[in-house]
Amino acid sequence: MFDTPENLLKFAQDHKVEMIDLKFADLTGRWHHVTMPDAAFTEKVIIEGVGFDSSSLPGFKSETAGDMVLLPDISTAVIDPFWESYTLSIICDIMEADSLVQFSRNPRGVLKKTEQYLKSMNIADSCQISPEYEFYIFDGLELYNDDYASGYDVISYEGDWNRVDDEAHDLGYKIPLQGGYHAIPPLDSMYNLRAEIVKYLESAGIKVKYHHHEVGAPGQTEIEVLFNEPLKACDQGMMIKYIIRMVCQRRGKTASFMPKPLYKQAGSGMHFHQFLQKDGKSLFYKEGGYANLSDIALHYIGGILKHTPAVMAFTNPSTNSYKRLVPGFEAPTRLFFGLANRSATIRIPKYDDNPIMKRIEFRPGDASCNIYFAAAAQLLAGIDGIKNKIDPAKEGFGPYDMKVQYLPPEEAAKIKSVPENMLGAMEALDKDRDFLKIDNIFNDDLIDTWIDLKTKEHYDVINRPHPHEFFMYHTI
């Protein structure tokens, strides 16, 4: 890790770095980049940044006021292994051009302010988070979308619908529907590819817990990483998606982080494991209470569950998100918490039940999110719960340690549900935003821009004929 411009520039000179690649996230969470030759990357660039036009990016500035500055965060510098030229990759913040003040819609800036706010509360030294990365690896994906035709074709040699001439891919090793969890070779055909991805992740300084085949038969994969502070974890999250996509592309495959790319197959979530830490220990542990949770943990849970519909505007910000959040799968549809309960919005893992690592798991989220906004919204909701001592039991959020469909109907009916679609989440955010606006972390301008952008996406999908509608209605 580099802590001074001098150290970084010396490294670049000593290692004969040829290109400096400056990466930054737009409002939706997609990465963009601009590249400089090493000779143009000076201490002045590190201090004053590089100008760019933000007006071409969704949700940023208008054409008349689009000038912004990318300010490199040199602590994120790492060699990008995919370039033919020896290239140093650096993640940037987005700043106002005239003042070098953080742009209020800069995703990294929002999360930075959230971390600062947590420390100012004197509740904890830090928050520790570990997102799970679930995604599908396909052997091919064809897309077409015109006024007169729309559709997709997924190719997967693990999928039982594909029959191919190549004997290496048609030897009868097909994973049955919903049968992929921890599948072993030769059923699991992705093990070498996953191992290659993990090697690249570790070379980038990202510590991996493990990788395995997930439930979805046609190439669903999970990679779990170790805990980190939110900004570092989210920077790593951006790099993880980049590395996965690049390795897959090199091997003639494609990775999809869509929450629900295939009907009837398991969806891909991004479960956020998290706890507050002080003096090297989890503030969520207290022996003897429910699931050995402390009062701070329960209030943190209460805050997240109370604000979950609004939080999901950031953790589940796609129309596809809500195709995953349907009954019958492990993805949660009801607002409650429980011990080891995978149908709960907040699950309390049974493992790592100790003073060091006691944690909770927020399960609705998915990788269509802007990871910086998603982490900030969860943390601010939890802090609000601690500040206001929100008791999740008194608020009707459980705990329930069984599937809620087994409850008596009158009791099950009392449990609130998550939003049914993205528009519902945006409406919840519009009504419940004050907990995000504390210390001007999220402001009304950012929230309103987000709601407008995502509402347009909702209607972009709703207003188009769906292919299945032709099967249902063409002959009516």
pLDDT tens string 35-83 = 999 999 999 999 999 999 888 888 887 654 578 999 999 999 999 999 9
What the block records as the tokens of 239 is 């790099």
256 and 394 in a single domain? The answer is yes
DSSP letter, residue 437:
S
* Alpha helices in 418-466, H assignment, sequence order: 422-431, 444-462
Q: Which helix (H) or strand (E) holds 112?
A: helix 107-120
Residues 340 and 377 in one domain: yes
- Quickly state the pLDDT bin for 129 (edges 50, 70, 90): very high
In the chain, the amino acid numbered 27 is L
Is residue 208, in this structure, part of any structural domain at all?
yes
Of 72, 103, 134, the domain-final residue: 103
Q: Is the peptide bond before 186 cis (omega within 30 degrees of 0)?
A: yes
Average pLDDT of 78-96? 97
- Looking at the structure, do residues 190 and 140 belong to the same domain, yes or no? yes
Can you read off the two tokens belonging to residue 422?
Answer: 């993205």
Domain contains 108: no
With respect to residue 218, please indicate whether it lies within any of the assigned structural domains.
yes
The reply to whether 94 and 130 lie within a common domain is no
Element (H, E) at 35: strand 31-37
Looking at the structure of the chain, the number of domains it has is 2
- In DSSP notation, 171-226 reads SS--PPTT--TT--TTT---HHHHHHHHHHHHHTTPPEEEEEE-SSTTTEEEEEE-
| Residue that is last in its domain, among 103, 135, 151 | 103
CA dihedral 340, 343, 347, 349 (to 10 degrees): 30
Please indicate, yes or no, whether residues 201 and 330 belong to a single structural domain of this protein.
yes
Whole-structure pTM over 0.85, yes or no? yes
In a domain? residue 439: yes
The tokens for 296 are 């701070």
Whether 168 has a pLDDT exceeding 60, the answer reads no
Clarify whether residues 89 and 151 are in a common domain. no
Q: For residue 116, is it within any domain?
A: no
Looking at the fold, whether 305 and 407 belong to one and the same domain comes out as yes
User: What would the pLDDT profile of 223-265 be if each residue is shown by its tens digit?
Assistant: 999 999 999 999 999 999 999 999 999 999 999 999 999 999 9
Token couple for 371:
């990871």
Given this model, what pLDDT does residue 170 score? 64
Work out the percent of the chain whose per-residue pLDDT is above 70.
97
Do 167 and 309 share a domain, yes or no?
A: yes
SS3 404: helix
Average pLDDT of 13-30? 97
Sign of CA dihedral 43, 44, 46, 47: positive
Helix 444-462 and helix 295-315: axis angle, to 10°?
A: 50
Domain assignment present for residue 151? The answer is yes
Q: Is residue 84 part of a domain?
A: yes
* C-beta of residue 441 within 8 angstroms of C-beta of residue 113: yes
Q: Binning pLDDT at 50, 70 and 90, where does residue 327 land?
A: confident
Phi, psi of 169, deg, nearest 5: -110, 5
Annotated catalytic residues are: 53, 132, 134, 214, 222, 271, 342, 361, 363
Q: For residue 233, what is the domain's CATH number?
A: 3.30.590.10
One domain for residues 394 and 343: yes
Q: Which residues of 296-314 are buried (b: 16+ CB within 10 A; e: fewer)?
A: bbbbbbbbbbbbbbbbbbb
CATH value at residue 85: 3.10.20.70
Q: What is the spatial distance between Cα 275 and Cα 285, in angstroms, rounded to a whole number?
A: 10
Quote the domain boundaries for residue 60: 5-103
Give how far the C-alpha of residue 218 lies from the chain's centroid of Cα atoms, to the nearest Å: 22
Is there a single domain that holds both residue 142 and residue 25? no
Do residue 345 and residue 469 come from a single domain? Answer: yes
Is residue 64 located within the same domain as residue 185? no
The Cα 337–Cα 305 span in angstroms is 8
Beta-bridge partners for 360 = 274
pLDDT of residue 180: 87
Answer yes or no: is 287 within a domain: yes
- Among 103, 135, 153, the domain-final residue is 103
